[in-house]
Every structure is written in structure tokens, then in C-alpha cells.
């Protein structure tokens, strides 16, 4: 794990050196915390995407929500939510899930105008998400399409942390037990009625704080102990 995470730093430096001036290169110019930093001292960014599917080659980002997490709290005053205008009609089967329709997004900015806001928020922060594979793949693909380079950064994945916690407790992981609302319930966290990318990002940030608070460690876990490649 440590060698894998160290590889991110090398790749980010190479991408910064070879990148064209712009938002992505500016993002790579800002370092995040070192791997041995205790998690309370690390700046995180809880982030969530609403998409038309799971494959960034064929599906699109419809909204982005994020909220900084630092010093044991979610910074609600800095939480943001952006709608994104897709290039193709929204499939009916996914509209039922996220509730976003073509009419809602007609006046929204295109992804190329939203990405700079996301990159500025992520600069110097370690992203965290629930099932971070979606955010990793879609944001990296979007950066490669818009800026010609991928986004390379380790994530904290609250789904993986929850799976690891249940394994340590020798609990059988039943279907649906790792979903965001189910994981939150185990820590006594409320279920939010509103459902959008920003609220899900906040929910993931709160879940992360509960997870690390319940870790059986004498010292606060370090960044490399909670991060996933």
C-alpha cells in the first residue's frame, strides 16, 4: 500500500512538469499532506457525483457536490453543488434514480466550466467518497478529455473502510449492508431526506468521521492507513 501511494506523488509530479498551463496543472502544483500525517491534521474533500451510468466512456456527469472535511468536522459553509449540462439526453432508467431531467439541466454549464471549480476545491485536499471508484474514474476521464491528462490522486473510500471494519468484527457482509445509508445507520447517523450530490458528499464526510472515531487504535490513524489507491 505504501509503495502504491508513493507512486501517486511521482506520477503527479511528472504530470505537473509535462502539463499545459491551466486548472489541472494548477491542481498538481499544490501538494496534499504527507502519508504519515495523522488524519485529524489532513484536509479532505468529501465528493459525490450523479451520473447517467457507471462507465465514463459512455455515460456522463450530471452533478457534482462536495464539502471540505477538516479537524474533525464537515465544513458545511463551504459545501457546493453544481449541475452539469450533458451532451446527450438523460436515459429514463437513470433519471428515476437521481431525479435529474433534461429540463433541469438545460441552463446548467457544461462539464468543462464546472471542472475548474472542482479542481480548485480539491487542491491540497485528499478526496473521500462512498464507493470512490465512480468519482475516480469519471473525474480522471473528464480531465483527460478536457485537459489532455488524467487526474491522479489517492482516495479515501468509506465503503472500503466499512467493509474492513465489518471484517475486523467478523460480521457477515449481507447485501445492501455497505450502502451509504445503511453504513450511517450503524453509527447512529441520521438519514437525510434530501438526495443530491452535495448531500451525499456531506453524508460520506460524516460517515468517515464516525468510522475513524470507532477505529481501535491507540493513536489517530495516519493518512496511509485510511487511504486507498
Residues 55-105: tens digit of each pLDDT: 999 999 999 999 999 989 999 999 999 999 999 998 888 877 788 888 889
Q: What CATH number does residue 105 fall under?
A: 3.30.420.10
Neighbouring CB atoms inside 10 A of 6's CB total 12
- The answer to whether 148 and 117 have CB atoms below 8 angstroms apart is no
Q: Give the domain range for residue 26.
A: 2-226
Distance of alpha carbon 128 from alpha carbon 135, whole angstroms: 9
Residues 166-224: tens digit of each pLDDT: 888 877 777 888 999 999 999 999 998 878 999 999 999 999 999 999 998 888 999 99
User: What band does 7 get if pLDDT is binned at 50, 70 and 90?
Assistant: confident
Cell numbers representing residue 5 in the block = 501511494
Residues 17-56: tens digit of each pLDDT: 888 999 999 999 999 898 889 999 999 999 999 999 999 9
Contacts of 4 (CB under 8 A, 6+ apart): 229
Q: How deeply is 136 buried, as exposed, middle or buried, from its count of CB atoms within 10 A (0-12, 13-18, 19+)?
A: buried
pTM: 0.93
The number of domains in the chain is 1
| Residue 70 backbone phi and psi in degrees, to 5 | -160, 145
**Percent of the chain having pLDDT more than 70?**
96
Which pLDDT belongs to residue 102?
84
Amino acid at each position: 500500500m505504501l509503495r502504491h501511494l508513493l507512486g501517486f506523488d511521482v506520477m503527479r509530479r511528472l504530470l505537473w512538469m509535462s502539463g499545459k498551463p491551466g486548472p489541472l496543472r494548477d491542481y498538481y502544483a499544490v501538494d496534499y499532506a504527507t502519508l504519515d500525517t495523522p488524519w485529524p491534521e489532513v484536509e479532505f474533500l468529501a465528493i459525490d457525483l450523479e451520473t447517467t451510468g457507471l462507465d465514463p466512456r459512455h455515460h456522463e456527469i450530471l452533478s457534482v457536490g462536495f464539502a471540505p472535511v477538516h479537524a474533525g468536522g464537515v465544513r458545511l459553509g463551504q459545501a457546493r453543488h453544481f449541475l452539469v449540462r450533458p451532451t446527450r439526453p438523460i436515459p429514463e432508467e437513470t433519471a428515476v434514480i437521481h431525479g435529474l431531467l433534461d429540463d433541469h439541466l438545460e441552463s446548467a454549464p457544461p462539464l468543462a466550466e464546472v471542472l475548474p471549480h472542482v479542481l480548485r476545491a480539491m487542491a491540497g485536499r485528499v478526496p473521500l467518497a462512498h464507493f470512490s471508484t465512480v468519482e475516480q474514474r469519471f473525474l480522471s476521464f473528464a480531465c483527460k478529455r478536457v485537459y489532455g491528462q488524467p487526474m491522479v490522486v489517492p482516495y479515501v473510500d468509506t465503503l472500503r473502510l466499512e467493509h474492513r471494519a465489518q471484517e475486523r468484527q467478523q460480521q457477515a457482509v449481507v447485501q445492501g449492508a455497505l450502502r451509504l445509508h445503511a453504513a450511517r445507520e450503524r453509527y447512529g447517523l441520521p438519514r437525510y431526506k434530501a438526495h443530491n450530490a452535495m448531500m451525499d458528499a456531506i453524508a460520506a464526510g460524516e460517515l468517515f468521521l464516525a468510522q475513524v472515531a470507532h477505529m481501535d487504535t491507540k493513536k489517530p490513524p495516519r493518512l496511509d492507513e485510511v487511504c486507498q489507491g
